[in-house]
Amino acid sequence: MYGVRNVLTLLCMLLVAQEVHAQRQELEAFPALMNLIRGEKFALVLPQAMKSNGIDMWIHVIRGKNPLNYELGDNSGVYIFTDRGEARIERAVLGGQADRELYDVFGPESDLGRFVADRDPRRIALNYAEEGSGFDTISTEDRTRVLEALGGEYSNRVVPADHLIADFLAGRVMSEVALYGRLLINSTNIIESALASIVPGETRLSDIAGNVFVRDLDGNEENNTDYVVQPGDLVGILHDANMREFSEHNGGIGYVLRQGETGLPPEIQRIWGHALRARELFRRNIVAGRTGAETLDILIEQLEQAGYHYIDQDQYDTSADPEKTQVHIDFHALGRMVSQEEAPRISPTGWGRDLKIPLYHTFALEYMIHMPVPEWGKGKHLYICLHDGAMVTERGVELSGATHTRDSDYPLAGDCR
């Protein structure tokens, strides 16, 4: 029996949460909600995404499955969006069927050349990419046909649409924000239930749903293996929650009390303190309008001014000052399943780091703390990974839902059995 009063109190809370969760149904994709999100993205996000990419016509050819089926439509056809100087971007489908509430113009695919010439666009985005991207979706055959239809004058104006698509997908309307928050709460509840079910000495990481991991003091990781959770472990769990094409994943951390412990030991409290300090620093230094790469530079500078050592990989740097806690960052997008990586990203990796952070960007405040504990030996350190769903607003970074790691007074979950 490892139980202590403060942990028992927390567990009671978790059990209540479980009970409430059991009453909840999985999120249902109501047609009205799906239509609302589609319509508002066209009305509010598309004009900005086209403008900021300097595009006045976007041609997107769909033949069956496509990352933009949800946003644009499931049917094959040539989808064309034209900025004609009005607040509303003209939406056309040639050679296909689509929702008449959303689209303005329909016609045969053979009209493509004339359609484009009539609108005389200066810069035409087409759904291909010049660098590795999941948005490189047009077939060679279709690309050839489109360029032929456009003719020499307009085909010379064609550019890749990958960045435009990334910006369009990354832009969030309020109904998406609300949905995102509900998904975050769902995954938080799942994580809290999972942590509450751990029995030290019996539960294996592979028994727990989600991405479950424990690192030892040298940084060696057990990840979803048959490793049995032990007292003194810091167990990390990432778990997703989905609704159709919408997805997010949240994180939680549990500390397993050792026999005789009546609370979190000082070094665990210390690493948690670093996590909170770093989070505040991030929240106050991320704003809409900068690229991910620019933001990362600012965060690194702020971290180092605050006495931390930034690491560009999620591995403890044995050559660094052993007095300094090390921090790794990977703030990737959340919300749409197809654009978690190919989206604005505050991270040392990925082409999304060159995209601007849009207003209402929904993303994972994902960072890793490696805190050296010199008294335990050279290179020995504690590790935690934080992963909270967040959003960029005019005020900075807000946490959309109550997260497992929300409170300074409930720093880390424990287990009493």
Q: Which stretch binds other proteins (CB under 8 A): 153-161, 167-175, 209-217, 226-234?
A: 167-175
Asked whether the beta carbons of 197 and 16 are under 8 A apart, the reply is: no
33 binds other proteins (CB under 8 A): yes
416 binds other proteins (CB under 8 A): no
Kindly provide the b/e burial profile for residues 66-76, where b requires at least 16 CB atoms within 10 angstroms of the residue's own CB: bbbebbbbebe
Q: State the number of binding residues for other proteins (CB under 8 A).
A: 43
Residues 350-369 that bind other proteins (CB under 8 A): 359-360
Instruction: State the minimum distance, in angstroms, from the CB of residue 171 to other proteins.
Output: 10
> ∠248-362-276 over CA atoms, to 5°?
90
24 binds other proteins (CB under 8 A): yes
**Nearer to other proteins among residue 233 and residue 366 (C-beta):** 366
**Nearer to other proteins among residue 14 and residue 149 (C-beta):** 14
Residues 85-124 that bind other proteins (CB under 8 A): 87
30 binds other proteins (CB under 8 A): yes
**Nearer to other proteins among residue 133 and residue 400 (C-beta):** 400
Instruction: State the minimum distance, in angstroms, from the CB of residue 216 to other proteins.
Output: 32
Longest dimension (CA), the chain: 80
Length of the chain: 417
410 binds other proteins (CB under 8 A): yes
Query: CA 229, CA 197: separation in Å to the nearest integer?
Result: 12
Q: How far is CA 281 from CA 125, 273, 299, 302, in A?
A: 38, 12, 8, 7
Query: CA 73, CA 271: separation in Å to the nearest integer?
Result: 47
**Nearer to other proteins among residue 179 and residue 371 (C-beta):** 179
**Nearer to other proteins among residue 184 and residue 299 (C-beta):** 184
First to last CA, the chain: 5
**Nearer to other proteins among residue 159 and residue 359 (C-beta):** 359
What x-and-dash track marks residues 170-209 binding other proteins by CB under 8 A?
Answer: ---xxx-xxxxxx-xx------------------------
List 2, 18, 44, 348, residue binding other proteins (CB under 8 A): 44
CA proximity to 43, closest of 89, 84, 83, 85: 89
298 binds other proteins (CB under 8 A): no
Paired sense of beta strands 77-82 and 57-62, if any: antiparallel
12 binds other proteins (CB under 8 A): no
List 17, 117, 276, 337, residue binding other proteins (CB under 8 A): 17
Which tokens go with 353? 């780091």
Instruction: State the minimum distance, in angstroms, from the CB of residue 346 to other proteins.
Output: 18
Q: Say how many CA atoms lie within 13 Å of 409 toward its Cβ.
A: 3
**Nearer to other proteins among residue 337 and residue 359 (C-beta):** 359
Paired sense of beta strands 234-243 and 246-255, if any: antiparallel
Q: How far is CA 21 from CA 191, 211, 242, in A?
A: 11, 20, 15
What x-and-dash track marks residues 366-405 binding other proteins by CB under 8 A?
Answer: -------------------------x-xxxx-xxxxxx--
Instruction: State the minimum distance, in angstroms, from the CB of residue 327 to other proteins.
Output: 20
CA proximity to 21, closest of 195, 238, 185, 239: 185
Q: Which stretch binds other proteins (CB under 8 A): 27-35, 141-149, 200-208, 244-252?
A: 27-35
Query: CA 334, CA 239: separation in Å to the nearest integer?
Result: 13
Question: If residue 387 lies in a helix (H) or strand (E), which one and from where to where?
Answer: strand 381-393
Query: CA 40, CA 81: separation in Å to the nearest integer?
Result: 15
Chain residues in the site for other proteins (CB under 8 A): 17, 20, 23-24, 28, 30, 32-33, 35-36, 40, 44, 87, 173-175, 177-182, 184-185, 284, 359-360, 391, 393-396, 398-403, 406-410
